[in-house]
Amino acid sequence: MITTITFNAAIDKRYYVKSFTKGEVQRVIEVENTAGGKGLNVTRVASILGEKITATGFLGGANGSFIRKKLIEMDVIDKFQEIKGETRNCLAIMDEDGNQTEFLEPGPHIEEDEFENWLDIYKELLDKSSIIIASGSLPNGLKTNTYGSLIKEARKRGIKFFLDTSGEALLQGIDEKPFFIKPNADELKLITKKANNTKADIVAAILELQHRGIELITVSLGAGGSITGYKDKLYEVVLPKVEILNPVGSGDSFVAGMAVAFKRGMDIEQAIAFASACGTANAMEKSTGYLTTPNVELIMKNIVVKPII
């Protein structure tokens, strides 16, 4: 079973405007509200791909109730811990030139007893999960080593832990050797404390992280594709050109695709192609953290995965 963790869930509000000018009144042409936060984007995409997902984390207030209704619609098992605080909103403003501006609220404060109650849920899910995916920022009240402590418990049970976060939470999570991470160039620089301006820099950084015990590492290069390291081999991906409608959630869709690929026993080159196709298919949709399987299949045919070493 695949379990997703979203500690800092959000209602992702997508505003489509003609043009976005600071300091002016803006009439919004189109609004879309989705169950968001990285982990819930992963949850939705993995569900569309045909997996039965258990989703956990924290939800509270009217926003939390909205998300619980969406979980029912997605046929996802809801194992979220109810909190007193209000689940946040995250705003993505898109204009007709394709520019995107995001406003990410910090989210609610998590009380100590709420986290303790959630740990009981986590312990129960450890016995049922083959893959755990934790994505996104940590809300106030959670220690920066929270992901690290969860990874430690998962590793003891041979569970593959996929971690997609940033900042101090990523740095401390890495110390506990998650199975998979997907740092972007800035996060990679934070981890290795070395420049990564060239492909050779990125290859060296990935090999260093594998040496530190992380088995699967993908460095996203945005539209330029990605470089992945697995079992002492590295692969680069050349993506087909597609019309981009909304790139928000593409990283989350990639993570969902990679986890589903490993659950289905794909070999590494198929897994990289499948995950990359999911990330690209998401960007082809106006909705955030969404894709269609026909698009994934179509893109799979046009993706090139090349071994580097």
Residues that bind ligand TA6 (CB under 6 A): 8, 10, 12, 36-38, 41, 90, 104, 136-137, 248-249, 251-252, 288
Tokens, residue 93: 């403003």
- Of 5 and 234, CB closest to ligand TA6: 5
Rounded Cα gap, residues 18 and 14, in angstroms: 13
Q: How far is CA 129 from CA 53, 79, 116, 264, 274, in A?
A: 10, 13, 20, 14, 22
- Of 268 and 289, CB closest to ligand TA6: 289
CB of 227 to ligand TA6, least distance (A): 20
- Of 8 and 228, CB closest to ligand TA6: 8
* CB 59 within 8 Å of CB 9: yes
DSSP structural state of residue 179: S
Round to the nearest angstrom and report the end-to-end CA distance of the chain: 33
CB of 204 to ligand TA6, least distance (A): 27
Residue 236, SS3 per DSSP: strand
CB of 9 to ligand TA6, least distance (A): 8
CB of 8 to ligand TA6, least distance (A): 5
- Of 47 and 137, CB closest to ligand TA6: 137
* CB 150 within 8 Å of CB 121: no
Give the distance, in angstroms, between the CA of residue 297 and the centroid of all CA atoms in the same chain: 21
- Of 106 and 224, CB closest to ligand TA6: 106
Cα atoms in the Cβ-side hemisphere of radius 13 Å centred on 187: 23
Residue 155, SS3 per DSSP: helix
CB of 83 to ligand TA6, least distance (A): 16
Position of minimal CB gap to ligand TA6: 136
CB of 107 to ligand TA6, least distance (A): 7
- Of 9 and 125, CB closest to ligand TA6: 9
